[in-house]
Amino acid sequence: MRRLLKRGFVAAAILGLGAGAALADYPEKTIEVVVPYAAGGGTDTGARLLLPELEKVLGQSMIIKNIPGAGGTVGATQFSRMKGDGYSLGFLPVGTTTTQPHLRKLTYDDNSFEPVCLTIQDPMAVAIDPGSPIQSIDELIAKAKDQTLSAGGPPPGSLPHIAQAAVANAYGVQFKYVPHEGGPAASKSILGGKLDILVDPIGSAINYGLRPLVLLDGKRHASVPDLPTIDEAGGPPLRYSIWFGLFAPAGTPAEIVKQLSDACKAATTTDAYVQAVANAKRTPRFLPHDEFKTFFKQQYQANAELMSVIGLKK
């Protein structure tokens, strides 16, 4: 009996060593990163800023798999079902992860993902056609009180959708929301005269060729230092931002998550990454695994409460 127990302990120890060795060798092959939006959009751009530097740190290739549809929920659903072995990761935005689960019946929630690191957090802005005669948020609201203006952006439940509803609610007006596949498509509609407003990250609005009227934040943004904040414009203290982060499926070993988080820190401090983010007019913000997990849980709950306030939560 003692011999059998001893053999069992030895076998367990060998298995433990084998598992440790496997983790120590991570990563040994290409890592797939799911982006739940089409190529060229804000989420895809954020991923493509990070991955080249992350590849250098990890010493392995990382390929993006774009799975667009339904406000990012198609890709996020598929990602949540992937094996938590470190070779399937997701680069996901705030709307897909913290608002969509409160709007519709989905198979994922805040417990379906393991946050790895936060990389970008962009304040949002109210933007319009650069050829519009409107020069301020007050002029925009005055026009909205005379006629119904149309706002566009990603599908309902996305942060641009929620933010424009919050702006309308705060000023006592209503916008007609017209869903698009994403910010690029909505911006084309504005430039083509089919939409009036887009509430989107400040960098994206500028890159799309739109003219921002006001920043939904408490401090000005370095890329547009002359753009007033909502507070400076005399409006309600609205605070909206879109953030992006790297996630692993739930159940991914803690050692792998920690290694990926450390790799993110190294990648986001390289000169190449810092310059690329600045060129893209994005706002870098790094949070390691433990801090990002706390932040993510808080955002999940806060957005559930926000949607109830503005009447979007079912």
Domain with residue 133: its CATH number is 3.40.190.10
What average pLDDT does the segment 183-200 reach? 94
Cα radius of gyration (the chain): 22
Q: Is there a domain that residue 17 lies in?
A: no
Q: Is there a domain that residue 98 lies in?
A: yes
Q: Is there a domain that residue 230 lies in?
A: no
* Cβ–Cβ < 8 Å for 29, 46: no
Q: Is there a domain that residue 224 lies in?
A: no
Kindly tell me if the per-residue pLDDT of 210 is higher than 50: yes
| Residues 245 and 160 grouped into a single domain | no
Q: Is there a domain that residue 109 lies in?
A: yes
Q: Is there a domain that residue 7 lies in?
A: no
Q: Look at residues 311, 285, 257 and name the one whose alpha carbon lies nearest to residue 121.
A: 285
Dihedral Cα 181, 184, 188, 189, nearest 10 deg: 40
Question: What confidence tier does 313 reach under pLDDT thresholds 50, 70, 90?
Answer: low
Q: How many structural domains compose the chain? A: 2
Give the range of the structural domain holding residue 170, as residue numbers without chain letter: 123-215
| Residues 248 and 118 grouped into a single domain | yes
| Residues 187 and 249 grouped into a single domain | no
Question: What confidence tier does 19 reach under pLDDT thresholds 50, 70, 90?
Answer: very low
| Residues 152 and 113 grouped into a single domain | no
Domain with residue 86: its CATH number is 3.40.190.150
* Cβ–Cβ < 8 Å for 157, 312: yes
Quick one: what percent of the chain has pLDDT higher than 70? 92
pLDDT of residue 308: 81
Query: What is the average pLDDT value for the chain, to the nearest integer?
Result: 90
Kindly tell me if the per-residue pLDDT of 10 is higher than 50: no
Q: Is there a domain that residue 75 lies in?
A: yes
What average pLDDT does the segment 267-287 reach? 93
Residues 81 and 4: their CA atoms lie apart, in Å, by 39
| Residues 166 and 199 grouped into a single domain | yes
Kindly tell me if the per-residue pLDDT of 8 is higher than 60: no
| Residues 112 and 70 grouped into a single domain | yes
- pTM as predicted: 0.79
Q: Is there a domain that residue 14 lies in?
A: no
| Residues 204 and 127 grouped into a single domain | yes
| Residues 59 and 141 grouped into a single domain | no
| Residues 113 and 141 grouped into a single domain | no
| Residues 117 and 57 grouped into a single domain | yes
| Residues 134 and 208 grouped into a single domain | yes
| Residues 33 and 109 grouped into a single domain | yes
